Structure 1
Amino acid sequence: MNKESLQPRERILETAYELFLKQGYNSTGINQIIDEADVAKASFYQHFKSKEDLCVGVLEKRHQYIEEQMQALTAQKRSAKMKVIASFDLISLLNEKEDFRGCAFLNILSEIPVDNMKVRNVIHAHKSNIRQSFKDLLQHADLADHVYLLYEGAFVESQLYRDQWPVNRARKIVNSLIN
């Protein structure tokens, strides 16, 4: 969708996400977001009281996007095993689409103060949701945690190496763990 056709709140969220991804949360100022989203300062503050509130909005929107993509990738898979393995396709897709920028949640987590509970709680809820989805699919808590840790590790390592090999290797390990 063309950003110009979006409502101001959505333009702000899209612009902030792109800038956070490209240059980091702490290096992105509100004035830059306002300028690049082409909104008035009053419009920005009508939707978001602070940069922290904007960050929460960005992460909530990102969570929704991840959920939608995961649903699309797993919808046609019949078995729990195939759904779990397909979840690694999401990492590959995001790596290709976003040039190996990694997990937006972990990137922001690394930049916020440890006592920023408002943002940390959103990140924690997102990660807990992923972990719980593996538990729901596999019906085995220890195995689900192994898969979750491989999933998260594949995301981080593919960002570091700027390559899909960690995702592909994690997918193979998960395949053998589930068998």
Structure 2
Amino acid sequence: MIKQRGQVVIDKILDTAERLFFTQGYHITGINQVIEEADIAKASLYKHFGSKTDLLVAYLQRLHECWFNKLEADVNKEVDPKAKLLILFDHHLERQVRNGYGGCRFIKANDEAGMSDERVLAEIQKAKQHLKDFIARLVVNSGHQKLLTDKELTGLIFMMLDGGIIAASIFKQADDLQSAKAIIQKLL
């Protein structure tokens, strides 16, 4: 499938913004830097994104879709319902290793812009709620030991994933994500 020229430009802009927002942060990244590094005209950026916030929202939307599709594909490769829950930790661990323990892109965006822009916060909440809902479905189908209610186990897994990612980004290692996985495995 051949991409339309407009989509090629949008992808160049979003790819550049993604790299810059992740490596140096949203506030430090300027529109002129995105334009320069994407090697596009200023008019091209503003044709597709009216503001830097619009660019951030589009980046978060694309990130959510790509990230969740990969997560779901990884989980769906497993047939054992309990193992599906543990794959969540493997998936997040692999992402942290691949990204140099850079943390969660949604949490980073929330720290920088989620408090000041409702659209940004809404996109971050949408992505995190999607993950929570996905975990909840996996928990219900897991046949876990019922040491916790489905809702409690869902909340615990969600918090341990995010907490493990934050710890991985702080300590630049995966020990806490691996420990979280081992704890959840005992509860299953």
Residue of structure 2 in register with 1:72 after alignment: 73
Is 1:52 the equivalent of 2:62? Answer: no
RMSD: 1.4
Give, in whole Å, the separation in 2 of the partners of 1:74 and 1:136. Answer: 12
Is there any run of 5+ residues in structure 1 with no aligned partner, and where? none
Which secondary structure state, in structure 1, belongs to the residue aligned with residue 113 of structure 2?
coil
Kept in 2, the 8 Å contact 1:73–1:89? The answer is no
Following TM superposition, the consecutive aligned residue runs of length 4 or more in structure 1 with deviations greater than 6 angstroms are none
State the 1:149 CA deviation. Answer: 0.7
Which secondary structure state, in structure 2, belongs to the residue aligned with residue 110 of structure 1?
helix
Identity %: 29
Question: Comparing 72-81 with 7-16, which one deviates more in the overlay?
Answer: 72-81
Structural mapping, 1:113-128, within 5 Å? 114-128=115-129
State the 1:79 CA deviation. Answer: 2.5
State the 1:80 CA deviation. Answer: 2.4
State the 1:113 CA deviation. Answer: 5.7
TM-score, normalisation: structure 1: 0.93
Residue of structure 2 in register with 1:153 after alignment: 163
2:176 to 157, 166, 178: 166
If you compute each CA radius of gyration, which structure gives the higher value, 1 or 2? 2
Residue of structure 2 in register with 1:19 after alignment: 20
Deviations 1:116-166 (A, max 9, x none): 100000000000111111111112111111111111111111111110111
Letter matched to residue 184 of structure 2: V
Letter matched to residue 76 of structure 2: A
Aligned residue pairs, count: 174
Is there any run of 5+ residues in structure 2 with no aligned partner, and where? 141-149
Is 1:28 the equivalent of 2:29? Answer: yes
TM-score, normalisation: structure 2: 0.89
State the 1:102 CA deviation. Answer: 0.5
Residue of structure 1 in register with 2:94 after alignment: 93
Is 1:42 the equivalent of 2:43? Answer: yes
Give, in whole Å, the separation in 1 of the partners of 2:69 and 2:49. Answer: 24
